[in-house]
Amino acid sequence: MLWLLYTASKCNLACSYCGGSWKDLPPKPVYPVEVLKEYLESVDPEPVIVFYGGEPLLNPKFIMDVMDSIEAVYGIQTNATLHHLLPPKYWARFESVLISIDGPEELNDSRRGRGSYRKAVELAAKARGLGVRRVIARMAVDGRSDIYRDVKHLLSLPFTHVHWQLSVDWVPKWDVRGWAERSYLPGIKKLAEEFKDYYLRTGELLGIVPFIALLKAHKEPWDWVPCGAGRRAYSIITDGTITACPIAPYEPWAKAGKIYSKEPPQHLPFPEAPCGSCPYFRYCGGRCLYWLRERFWGERGFGEVCWVTKRFVDTFFEVLGGLADEMAELEEVREYDPTRDSTEAVP
Ligand code: SF4
Ligand code: SF4
């Protein structure tokens, strides 16, 4: 199972669409690493641990203590600004390093803070140099994003992969549908064309995670939200509470247990939603459990995001045509597992 492990509840940045810090949680884990070790040993023979926060590198000691004590596959999601605080031998042990970055420097730094782009690229190069297999740009996308420009830019840097999430939760409603018609979907079409051409030229895939995820679902439809929240993926927040989703530390629906118990985390029910009868469920899986539950933009906003998701799926498969069957058989597609690298499969 995937465990998104909070090492700190605060962040040293305050990005425009996030806020970064959780106010009412202990700033650092209040439980000993030994308790975590015993819990994981009792419920999960093959844990994948991805350090999370806040900003996980605000607490490098906890990261080192965990990695020194627990046998697991490791990853981290970080803004990279404090990467110097973790020694190289720990970086080299990560299978996946996910770095927050939105695109070209000017766009990125206007939202994440001056200097954050430079740090993100610095860490990507360092992680690649240390042999990390998956160095993944983790984008937040909104009306100021140009998906074609931004993904192309990030793939020209030392990232192996790129994934993105539409900013449709903690921000006031914006015209996601109008933007998708004008900019996002035409950009997706161009990216899909390049993804296809690259495969035809090289037999390999560009590291565009949401496209790889669509190919995966083409062969093996999702039966749950792709991130696995509440079934195959959980978060452990700083007070030892287990929640289904890392951005739902307070929400009662997300509570799934405590590491002080020896009980496996609870399985959550799928929320009431139109997904059950939606023909796109196999490719979308409900997109995001948090978004399905919270619906910050109400029913109309929910419908707009579904519309964008459906057109995203259609656009991709219209470009790939019959080639999708062949590409879905590739090893990288078969091996892709969002509960191993903690990527967001559906934007
Ligand atoms: S497009 Fe909307 S309704 Fe359909 S599966 Fe995805 S979230 Fe559910
Ligand atoms: S996709 Fe949604 S439910 Fe899953 S981990 Fe991310 S925010 Fe949570």
Instruction: List the domains of the chain with CATH numbers.
Output: 2-341 (3.20.20.70)
Q: Is 284 touching ligand 1 by the criterion CB < 6 Å? A: yes
Is residue 253 over pLDDT 90?
A: yes
pLDDT digits (tens, 9 = 90+) for 332-342: 999 999 999 99
Helix axes 147-155, 185-202, angle to 10 degrees: 40
**272 falls in which pLDDT band (50, 70, 90)?**
confident
Closest atom of ligand 2 relative to the 289 alpha carbon? 3
Q: Are 116 and 108 in contact (CB under 8 A)?
A: yes
Q: Which residue has the least CA distance to atom 3 on ligand 1?
A: 275
Q: How far, in Å, from the CA of 203 to the mean position of ligand 2?
A: 32
Q: Is 311 touching ligand 1 by the criterion CB < 6 Å? A: no
Exposure of 139 in the CB half-sphere (CA atoms within 13 A): 33
Q: Is 111 touching ligand 1 by the criterion CB < 6 Å? A: no
Q: Is 212 touching ligand 1 by the criterion CB < 6 Å? A: no
Q: Is 288 touching ligand 2 by the criterion CB < 6 Å? A: yes
pLDDT digits (tens, 9 = 90+) for 129-167: 999 999 999 999 999 999 999 999 999 999 999 999 999
Range 31-43 average pLDDT: 97
Q: Are 206 and 198 in contact (CB under 8 A)?
A: yes
User: To test the ligand 1 pocket, which listed residue (277, 290, 309) has its Cβ within 8 A of the most ligand atoms?
Assistant: 309
